[in-house]
């Protein structure tokens, strides 16, 4: 079969167009969306011996996953998320061993810093519970770093397990190469425009080019997850919310070996990046952006960015990290988080429509938890639900009106580093 790469940036080799559009007519599993969650699910299904087709509207990693900060965080708000986050860290640092293709991971650890009494208490609770859940986390005096000089009596936790991937597309490329190695086919520039349902269960997808049949279809369409679910008359309980970060020009002062810093009271994260500093954070009045209400051509490039939001966030740590506010900006990027009402992933089978699965509800951790979520979903699709995973079922909220979904999603976003006090009623 003749084969050729689909684009200069894509490492996957696809059949040449005439074969590609007509050749693949059935699979065991179809994954819609080649972001981190979709590719990981596809890879793990292929590694379980299933025939897998991934269908991507644009190019792999071109939407949220390619914009991520690349941060992996071992401290999470509950036992299940902690397990998934730590499993993902292990899978990332051992990627070549189990997937057979290399992945560069930076392993500098992280500081979580609190500068107020309230946030000190919050971190003390995190220390106690995360320790119980097996995380290696210790109380520490905030260290003086090349880019962050602590002031006063700030409280800190040291999280030696935390890592980052410098350029998020390297995870996508590693997954693409591993998919190819394990026989999963990735078709880019091929939007799914319909989901076939027969005798009350999913039967495959319609793309702009062809029909593909499969008994299992996974909706991993990121910011478009609800749009895709709508094609099958299903509902996914997430709200899409803007998130942004910037990378400064190289400053000559940032030590690339320095750890990640998260200042919880400011809701800001910082890390070395390309010789400069990456600055991201969580605005207290986040912006919901629903792609379903945008023109069909809407992509992540159309998410409205506002550098003033990041400037205000950086201003809160300007005494400790002056470069965050003062260094010239080399890159400003953003995209959409899929936020769920309880801050947990939405992953599992869709109720009332056998064969349709969802991998979504990233709540800002979809990139870093993708390797564990994909592994768990593949195990579930091909067998039983792994321990605890039913807690992430898409049906767990029952019917929720959109305004409730949005208000809860915005709350979760604004409280990313401090998820206390949520009134679910
Ligand atoms: C600025 C920023 C920083 C972030 N930082 C981090 C971080 O440090 N750590 C972390 O864990 N997470 C981070 N995130 C969140 C993370 O990027 C997401 O959780 C994750 O990438 C979601 O992956 P995904 O596969 O669900 O979505 P995506 O990467 O968006 O992939 C979904 C894919 O589905 C495709 N698609 C949509 N509709 C269709 C269709 N009809 N047919 C076919 N394909 C379709 C899209 O084109 C897209 O490629 C960040 C996000 C942003 C925006």
pLDDT for the residue 24? 65
Q: Are 103 and 95 in contact (CB under 8 A)?
A: yes
The tokens for 166 are 């410098």
Q: Is 419 exposed, middle or buried (0-12, 13-18, 19+ CB in 10 A)?
A: middle
Residue with CA at minimum distance from ligand 1 atom 27: 222
Positions in the chain whose pLDDT score sits under 70 = 1-24, 419-425
Residue 389's pLDDT is 98
- pLDDT at position 417: 86
Which is the closest atom of ligand 1 to the Cα of 228? 41
**22: enclosing H helix or E strand:** helix 17-23
CA 187, 191, 194 angle in degrees (round to 5)? 120
Instruction: For a ligand 1 pocket test, name from 221, 229, 346 the mutation site with the most ligand atoms within 8 angstroms of its C-beta.
Output: 221
pTM of the entire predicted model: 0.94
Give the C-alpha distances (Å, rounded to integers) separating 110 from 119, 155, 195, 271, 397. 17, 14, 43, 9, 34
CA of 34 to the centre of ligand 1 (A): 9
From ligand 1's centre to the CA of 36, what distance in Å?
7
Rounded CA-CA distance 320/324 in Å is 9
Tell me which residue has its CA closest to atom 33 in ligand 1. 33
Question: Is the minimum distance from the CB of 364 to ligand 1 under 6 angstroms?
Answer: yes
Q: What confidence score (pLDDT) does residue 10 get?
A: 36
Q: Is 81 in the pocket of ligand 1 (CB under 6 A)?
A: no
Q: Is 364:239 a contact under the CB 8 Å cutoff?
A: no
* Residue-wise pLDDT tens digits, 48-82: 999 999 999 999 999 999 999 999 999 999 999 99
């Amino acid at each position: 079969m003749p084969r050729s790469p689909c684009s200069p940036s894509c490492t996957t080799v696809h059949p040449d167009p005439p074969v590609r559009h007509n050749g693949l007519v059935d699979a065991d599993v179809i994954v819609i969306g080649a972001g981190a969650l979709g590719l990981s699910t596809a890879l793990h299904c292929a590694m379980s011996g299933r025939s897998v087709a991934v269908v991507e509207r644009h190019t792999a990693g071109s939407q949220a996953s390619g914009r991520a900060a690349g941060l992996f965080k071992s401290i999470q708000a509950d036992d299940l998320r902690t397990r998934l986050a730590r499993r993902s860290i292990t899978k990332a640092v051992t990627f070549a061993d189990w997937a057979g293709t290399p992945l560069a991971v930076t392993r500098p650890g992280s500081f979580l810093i609190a500068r107020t009494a309230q946030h000190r208490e919050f971190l003390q609770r995190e220390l106690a519970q995360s320790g119980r859940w097996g995380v290696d986390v210790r109380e520490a005096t905030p260290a003086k770093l090349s880019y962050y000089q602590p002031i006063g009596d700030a409280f800190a936790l040291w999280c030696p397990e935390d890592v980052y991937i410098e350029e998020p597309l390297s995870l996508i490329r590693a997954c693409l190469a591993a998919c190819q190695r394990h026989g999963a086919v990735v078709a880019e520039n091929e939007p799914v425009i319909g989901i076939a349902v027969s005798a009350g269960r999913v039967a495959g997808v319609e793309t702009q080019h062809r029909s593909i049949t499969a008994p299992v279809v996974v909706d991993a369409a990121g910011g478009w997850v609800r749009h895709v679910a709508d094609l099958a008359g299903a509902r996914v309980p997430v709200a899409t919310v803007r998130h942004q970060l910037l990378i400064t020009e190289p400053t000559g002062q940032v030590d690339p070996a320095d750890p990640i810093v998260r200042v919880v009271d400011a809701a800001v994260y910082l890390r070395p990046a390309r010789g400069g500093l990456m600055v991201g954070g969580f605005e207290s009045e986040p912006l919901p952006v629903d792609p379903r209400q945008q023109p069909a051509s809407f992509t992540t490039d159309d998410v409205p960015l506002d550098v003033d939001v990041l400037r205000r966030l950086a201003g809160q740590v300007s005494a400790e990290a002056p470069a965050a506010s003062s260094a010239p900006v080399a890159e400003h990027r953003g995209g959409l988080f899929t936020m769920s009402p309880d801050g947990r992933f939405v992953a599992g089978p869709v109720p009332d429509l056998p064969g349709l699965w969802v991998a979504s509800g990233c709540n800002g951790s979809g990139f870093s938890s993708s390797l564990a979520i994909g592994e768990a979903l593949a195990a579930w699709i091909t067998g039983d639900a792994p321990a605890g995973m039913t807690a992430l079922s898409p049906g767990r909220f029952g019917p929720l009106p959109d305004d409730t979904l949005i208000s809860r999603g915005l709350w979760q976003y604004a409280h990313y580093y401090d998820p206390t006090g949520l009134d679910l009623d």
